[in-house]
Amino acid sequence: MIKFIAKGLYTTIQDEGRFGYRNIGVPYSGYMDKENAKIANLILGNPLNNSLIEATLIGPTIKFEESTVICITGADFNPMLNENKISLYRPIEVNKGDILKINNSSVGSRCYISIKGNIHSDVILGSKSFFSQITKSSVIEKGDKFKFEVNNKEITHKYTLKKFKVDSNIQVLKGPEFECLSKKSIDTLINQEFSIGINNRMAYYLNEKIQDGVNSIISSGVIPGTVQLTPSGQIIILHRDCQTTGGYPRILQLNEKSLNNLAQLKTGDKIIFKLLNF
């Protein structure tokens, strides 16, 4: 059993996601940064798609009511176990009564706390991933408790050479409406530096606009990583909790690596689009 003494800014339970329901408007959800989430599970010998705790910008404080092993990956939140700093990307033994404090992020936006075993939470449409319109809760609250199933499998990954770093190069492919852009707009897209504005699990808005005069389109399918351009020139990058259809031109599409990278960037961070030649 674990108990949340403090909830952090935006802390959730996530697994790989909810698949097979986009035809009825259900988003994928799941880990924002799949690479680091899966590494946390890998190190502990958990299934790669195991549910874990995702913390954003300001982390939670957790009391462990039974002994286990944990692993923290992703952004550096300067985690402390009983007021002692602990390392990332390594299995850490936790004893009954220990308190884990995930502080503020110093580099990156999201970290992942995997517990050796399986966190008990409601499975809805094949996933435990929190989503406000599907699960009972959209975020973990102070006082919430979760049981976890013990995994007795021997840990074989004692450590990893993986080190977290922020990557502002966003690799993209041409979207279905890419050819609607003027040459000037295309040049701006691939040569200009953009800064991240308002963002959440659904989408990242960029501060700089492209005045191309594009029109809305018939509502069409979108997926995480789709880059939309509104008639007003607003650039929107959709992420894991995005809607399933949209009426704005889809000018670019992020690859999986860049979708993970974007999940670790904060408001004000700069990005550069790198158009892949396919």
The residue extents of the domains of the chain are 2-150, 169-275
Amino acid 278: pLDDT: 54
CA distance readout (Å), 212 to 184, 209, 215, 224, 232: 9, 9, 9, 23, 8
Structure tokens at 112: 């992942």
Average pLDDT over residues 172-198: 94
Q: Look at residues 263, 269, 216, 213 and name the one whose alpha carbon lies nearest to residue 237.
A: 263
Q: Give yes or no for residue 154 having a pLDDT over 80.
A: no
> Could you tell me if 61 and 4 are in contact, meaning their C-beta atoms sit under 8 angstroms apart?
yes
CA distances from 225 to 23, 109, 253, 254, 256 (A): 18, 18, 5, 5, 8
Read off the tokens for 189.
């897209």
Instruction: Round to whole Å and give the CA distance between 215 and 152.
Output: 57
pLDDT digits (tens, 9 = 90+) for 74-107: 999 999 999 999 999 999 999 999 999 999 998 8
Residue 15 and residue 53: Cα distance in Å, rounded?
9
Of the pLDDT bands very low, low, confident and very high (cuts 50, 70, 90), residue 160 is: low
| Cα three-residue angle 240-258-7, rounded to 5 degrees | 45
d(CA 208, CA 197): 9
Q: Which residue has the tokens 């549910």?
A: 51
Please count the residues of the chain: 278
Fold category of 169-275 in CATH? Cyclophilin (2.40.100)
CA distance 24 to 19: 11
Q: 157 falls in which pLDDT band (50, 70, 90)?
A: low
Query: At 141, is the pLDDT very low, low, confident or very high (cuts 50, 70, 90)?
Result: very high
Structural contact between residues 44 and 51, judged by C-beta atoms closer than 8 angstroms: no
